[in-house]
Amino acid sequence: MKTTELAWFAGFFDARGITMKQGVRINAVNFDNRLVLDIFQSRFGGHIGVTSSSSKKRQQRYWLLTGKKADEFLEAIRPYRLLDQAEEAHVQQILGRRK
């Protein structure tokens, strides 16, 4: 994958992504077009799902990647992310738990 693509993925993940114990997730809030999520899924795998918010009564799409594939994704975009020390420590803690 090209450096520019990885940088784009990293930037988008920094803006919309969440690193969780079980994997990574991108919430596609405020746009109905799932093209961006499809791009993430085609490059890295994972699952696209839909959840609804009871307070807003609007569906929200998300991309979810778990396990080893989530680790590989985080490692691939790591050089291009804008992480502070606390965020980096959190990512390292999650990656360390899976090894």
Distance of CA 88 to the CA centre of its chain: 15
From CA 22, how far away is CA 50, in angstroms rounded? Answer: 18
Question: 67-77 and 35-44 are packed helices; what angle lies between their axes, rounded to 10 degrees?
Answer: 100
CATH of the domain at 90: 3.10.28.10
Q: How many domains does the chain have?
A: 1
Give the predicted TM-score (pTM) of the model. 0.77
Continuous H helices in the chain: 3-16, 35-44, 67-77, 85-98
Q: What is the pLDDT of residue 82?
A: 84
Q: What is the pLDDT of residue 2?
A: 92
Domain that includes residue 59, residue range: 3-98
- What's the pLDDT tens digit per position in 8-63? 999 988 888 888 877 888 877 655 667 888 999 999 999 998 887 666 666 788 88
Indicate if the pLDDT at residue 97 is higher than 70.
no
